[in-house]
Structure 1
C-alpha cells in the first residue's frame, strides 16, 4: 500500500532530515474539484485525516497547479487565513511547508505535502536533496492510481456494451459513491478506516452491480414484478460480478492493486442484510465487510430518493425514516446514523448530480 511505502521513505529520511515530521498526499477529483486527504506519514503530531476542500477555493494552490511549480512556505505562522486546513497545520505545530503538484501527462493526480516544525526549513540545498524522494513519491502515487483507472475503464466499457441502462445511470452511480464516502468519513474513526481505505470505497462502490451485465435484459428491464425464478436469476449478479472482477484483475495484471479484496467484497456482499436475511451467503452483522455495509446503505438510500418507472422519488425524510426503522435488520446502524448526521451534505450531492434525460 502507498501508506506503507511513504512511511518507509519517511523512516529512511529520519536521520538526514529529523525535523521533517510530515509527508502527506492528497488526491484530486476533477469531477468535483475536490482535494481529498489520501495517505500520510506523521511524527509527533495528530495526523490530518478525513479532510477535503475545493482546489478552486485556494488561490495559492490553484496557482501552484497552473504553473506546475513547487511551493515553499518558510513561516506558516505568518499566513493569515481562516481556512480549516491552515488552522489544522498551525495547530499541529508545523512551521514550514513544501508542496508539489503531481501530474500524469496533463491530468492532475494530487498534491504532495512535506512539513517541518522549523521555520525556513526547506532551503534550496535541502530541497535539492529531497527532490529524488519527491519524484519517487510522485511516481508511486501515479502507479497507485493507474491500475484503478484501468479497472474502472474496463468495467465502464463492459457496462456500455451490455446495454444495462436501468437504474444504473451515471448520476445514480455518482450520487451513491459520494453517499458512500460521506458514510465512510462519518464512521471512519470507529471502524478503523483511514483516508486511503475511504478513497477506495468511494472509487469501488460504482462497480457494485457490474454483474448485471450477465443477467438477461428481458429480466433487468422488466416493468412488472419479477417472478421467483426471475428474482433468483437476478441474484446471480453478485457471483457474476465477482467473476468479472477476478477476470479483469487477472487479464489486466492488476494483482498489485491495493484493496482489491475490498472491491470483491463490495461486489459480492452488497445485498447482505444485518439480520442474515440477505444474499448470497446470509451473513449477519459484522460478518458482512464494512465496505459492503456502506455500499448497501448508500445504494438503497439513492434508490429510495430517485424516481423510477415504477415509483416516484421519496423525500429524504421519508427514506431516512424507512432506513431508521430497518437499521439492525436490513442496514448497519452506524451507516444509517451517518446519513442522519450528514443531511445537508446529502442534499448538496443530490443537487450536484441530478438526473438528466440521458441518465
Structure 2
C-alpha cells in the first residue's frame, strides 16, 4: 500500500480572506508560475445600458496601453460574435488581424509586441458581464494543453467576477427591500441613480490620466454611486418629498441620512458577508461624505483634503442631476444655468474645480445621459 502524497496546492490561498483584486492577483501569479509565457491578463466589463465595453482589470509586466479605454460592443464584430455565440477564441498569430481594419485595442496590443491571444466571454444568468483576455508575446503559444488549463483558469476568474457582481447587487437589493417592506415611496428614482452612475463615470474618466486613477476605481465608483443616499430610507416621506422648503428641524433630520447611511453600510458588510467586497472604504466615503463642501459648509463640516475624491465626484454628479431635473421642490433648470451654478459653487470652494471642469467640458455627454435615462 502506497503512502498518501501531500502536494503543494497553489490555489489553497484562495480559501483565505482577501478582496477581489487580491484574489485576481493571486490567480494570475499561479497562472504565470504554470505558464510564464502568458504575459498579459485583462478583464473588460460590459454595460448593457449603453452597450459599452470598458477596461476594468489589467495585469502585465508592462503598463496598460488601453487605460481608460471604452468601445461599443457592436463596433467590435469579433467580440459581438462571441457574445452572440459563446466560445473560447484562440488566435495564435495576431498578425492575421493586419489584413483587416484594426480596432484600437488590437493595434495597441500588436504595438506592444503581443502575438497570441485567448478570449473568453463571461456570462451570469445568461447575461453578458464582460470578456477575459490572455496574451503572449510568442506566436503559436497556446497549445492544446495550455488552452485546456487556461480555459479552466478563465472560468474560475469568471466565477470570481460573478461573485463580486452579486455582492454589489445584494447591497443594492438591500436598499430596495428595506424601502418596500416599510411601505415607503422610493428614496430615489431609477432614472436618477442610473444618471448618477453615468455622470460619476464621466467625471472620473476625465480625471483619470491626471490623477492616475485605475480602471477598477472608476468602475467601482459607478457601481457604488446609486447607493449614495442609502441612509434616506430612515427619513420620512413628508420630508423627502416635501414640495416646499424644509424647516430647520426638518433639515437637521434630512442631514442625518449620511450618518445613518454609513451605519447601514457597516452593518450590511458585516451581516450579509460582504466584507471582502472590493473598495468597501470607497462605498463608505461616498455614503458619508457626498454632501460635504470643500470650504467646510457641508453636512458634517469636513473640508479640504478630508473630503475624499470619490465623495467629491459624487457630490458634483448629484448636484448636476438634481438641478437638471424636476424635483418636488423645484423645476428642471436649463443646462447653461446649471453649469453656471456649478462654476459658482466651485469658485466659492464648495465643489472640486477639477470635477466641475470635467462636467463643463462635456456638455454633449451630459445631454446624452439625460436622454438615455429620462425622468
TM-score by length of structure 2 reads 0.88
* Structure ID, larger Rg: 2
- 1:10/1:23 contact within 8 Å kept: yes
- 1:270/1:293 contact within 8 Å kept: yes
**1: CA distance, partners of 2:92 / 2:307:** 48
- 2:65/2:108 contact within 8 Å kept: no
Change (3 A) 1:326 1:14: same
Matched, 1:343 2:363: yes
**2: CA distance, partners of 1:82 / 1:302:** 38
1:311 Cα deviation from its structure 2 partner: 2.7
1:17 Cα deviation from its structure 2 partner: 2.7
1:301 Cα deviation from its structure 2 partner: 0.5
Partner of 1:318: 337
**2: CA distance, partners of 1:198 / 1:312:** 31
Matched, 1:25 2:46: no
Q: Please state whether the residue corresponding to 1:108 is helix, strand or coil.
A: strand
Q: Please state whether the residue corresponding to 1:36 is helix, strand or coil.
A: strand
Q: Choose which of 239, 252, 258 in structure 1 pairs with 2:272.
A: 252
Alignment RMSD: 1.9
- 2:21/2:278 contact within 8 Å kept: no
Partner of 1:36: 54
Per-residue deviation, residues 68-118 of structure 1 (Å, max 9, x unmatched): 211112222321224322232223322221101122232222211011122
**2: CA distance, partners of 1:106 / 1:56:** 18
Matched, 1:138 2:176: no
In structure 2, list runs of 5 or more residues that go unmatched. 1-18
1:161 Cα deviation from its structure 2 partner: 4.3
Partner of 1:54: 72
Q: Give the paired residue count.
A: 353
Matched, 1:301 2:320: yes
Matched, 1:233 2:253: yes
- 1:76/1:90 contact within 8 Å kept: yes
Q: Please state whether the residue corresponding to 1:138 is helix, strand or coil.
A: helix
Q: Please state whether the residue corresponding to 1:189 is helix, strand or coil.
A: helix
**2: CA distance, partners of 1:12 / 1:220:** 51
Moved more, 25-34 or 346-355: 25-34
In structure 1, list runs of 5 or more residues that go unmatched. none
